[in-house]
Amino acid sequence: MLVLVTGANGLLGANTVAVLAGMGIPVRGFLRDTKRYPLAPMPGVKLVEGDITYADSVLQAMQGCTHVIHTAALTRQDEFAEEYYRVNVEGTRHVAEAARQCGVQRVVWVSTANTIGFGTKQQPGHEDKAMNDVFLQSPYAYSKWLAEQWVIRYAADLDYVIVNPTFMLGPYDVQPGSGKVIQMVRNKRIVWYPPGGKNFVHVQDVAHALVAAMQRGVRGERYLASNENLTYREFFAKVARHSTARHQLVPAPGWLIELAGKVGDLLRSFGIRSALSSANAQILCVRNFYTNAKSIQDLNLSYRSTDYAIHDAVAWWKEQELGFS
């Protein structure tokens, strides 16, 4: 067995490499720049540089691999739709075509929970629910939905499983990516929180979900890798408890968030990158909650608390001396 992990330097990719290596499974990590790889050398792990947007690069990296876990994606919220499509949709197509040529036994596609309909805490979203309109307006989420649809329609000949993670937190978040929200809360005395909420999950649990999906997932199925459904106030309060400073949590009215989104739209219309947009503003105002029942039952997974994930993220940043006290 030899597993190709795309996006090996990302939050999820690095944790997936670590889980596989810890199980003694040989890994080939595919990434654009080995200098940005956050892990120490591990037995059975080899790194190759390449770019998911170039078909030849993907094909060369996949030679001799039996399995593929495709974590590489563009997730930043300030990109334009064309770039999301180039990386998330075209990159998926390149992986599928290379997998066909290389005779790969199974591909695990990493999507997002946003392509699945959300629900409430009492009736959370599950794998059979259709994507909500609010996320169809998000260029990132829409690109992941397009990638899923492409796999379902044009890659049915491949043995594949799709894993849909929620908001991931934990170690090896070099950028940081999702961890920016932790840094934001810890670095401010007054913290404004939006009225919405989302599901949070430890990134290492998602990495275990990917490996479990590779080993025993049902072909063609989707699995939510998710854990705690929290309002933003509940989540920010948890982050604040992991800080030595005192923080005051203040509700941000929905109209103010929507106004900020319109400002972001204006900036984008002039070609200026902005994480603000009307779509993202709407998302901050909804509570997109999910269940992990299917992954627990079918993949025999267990999940750690959000407090544990926050602790691990902060502890790793402190070890790397990335400005945390």
Quick: pLDDT tens for 77-129: 889 999 999 999 999 999 999 999 999 999 999 999 999 999 999 999 999 99
CA 246 from centre of chain: 30
Q: List the chain domain ranges.
A: 3-171+199-227+289-304
Residue 1: name the closest of 27, 23, 21 by CA: 27
CB burial of residue 258 (10 Å; 0-12, 13-18, 19+):
middle
- Asked if pLDDT for residue 245 goes beyond 90, the answer is no
- Asked if pLDDT for residue 60 goes beyond 60, the answer is yes
The mean pLDDT value of the chain amounts to 95
| Of 2-16, 51-65, 168-182, minimum mean pLDDT range | 168-182
Q: What is the pLDDT of residue 324?
A: 54
| Of 215-219, 243-247, 295-299, minimum mean pLDDT range | 243-247
Q: What is the pLDDT of residue 322?
A: 59
Q: Scanning the structure block, which residue is given the tokens 């929507």?
A: 258
Does domain 3-171+199-227+289-304 fall under CATH 3.40.50.720? My reply is yes
- Asked if pLDDT for residue 294 goes beyond 60, the answer is yes
- Asked if pLDDT for residue 151 goes beyond 90, the answer is yes
